[in-house]
Amino acid sequence: MAHRIDFSTLVFRTILTVLALLTLVLLIAPTAVVVIVSFTDSYSLKFPPQAYSTRWYLELWDASQLHFAAMNSIKVGLMTTVLSVVLGVTASLGISNSRSALARMLDALFMSPLVLPALAFGFGALMTFSAVGWSVSLTTLVIGHTAVCVPYVIRTTLAALAQMDSALLESSASLGASRLYSFWRITFPLIRPGILAGAFIAFMSSFDNVPVSLFLRDARTDMLPIRMWQDLEGRLDVTIAALSGVIILVTLIMMILMERVVGLSRRLRQ
């Protein structure tokens, strides 16, 4: 006997499908528009383009200011990722091994940069560094980025630790292994996918960060998102659309690799 679907269920599924498709369009449409415009042959950002060309992608080779800003963003992103992984994994191990109220309080404290408005956090970080006599530099920029990227590493690492069987560590300890040896031979291999997922998110968050970079950068540490925004604000440079296309392509490739290596989408759902 065929399963019958009543009218209310059919209406609910239809509405849910329409809303899901609408959400998908709202998320994909801006990206698609940027990619299409990046292949325009004209000097203005116009959609749809009257003619298509790859000239603006070739222009990127001579955009020295964009190269300088991109290298700074990559440098800051890599240093931020390393610091975030070290601090995040250490904090995760301490939090996961304790059920006390202090551990829960620390967990909430580490997550607080994600709750605060990004602009407020960037301004607060600038005021803090000024109060202790630190001028904005590469060091302050990395510290500010690390503060907002550590929570991602902590969350993915805690999810990986929650899936690990505690009996493995107990067996290792009963056989005379030290905590450090047990970490490197048992804990680290098992939580490595979670750490890699957190590191990937931390790098992308740092690379794309605008609010913190806006307050903590200087002329020597010009960041790519800020440079792109300034170029669009001063003049509608089509080169920025081409650069956005490159960033989108690289991000997609990295996401596919991370999905193959660590199952990124599954880690984010945990």
- pLDDT 10s digits, 59-118: 888 777 888 888 989 999 999 999 999 998 888 888 877 677 777 777 777 787 778 788
Residue 268 has pLDDT above 80, yes or no: no
Separation between Cα atoms, residue 168 and residue 166, nearest integer Å: 5
Peptide bond into 225 cis (omega under 30): no
Separation between Cα atoms, residue 124 and residue 207, nearest integer Å: 20
Which is higher by pLDDT, 49 or 247?
Answer: 247
- pLDDT 10s digits, 143-189: 989 988 999 998 888 888 887 777 776 677 777 777 777 777 777 88
pTM: 0.81
- pLDDT for position 2: 47
Residue 4 has pLDDT above 70, yes or no: no
Q: Exposed, middle or buried: residue 11 (CB in 10 Å: 0-12, 13-18, 19+)?
A: exposed
Percent of the residues in the chain that have a pLDDT greater than 90, as a whole number: 8
Residue 135 has pLDDT above 60, yes or no: yes
Domain boundaries 57-269, CATH class = mainly alpha
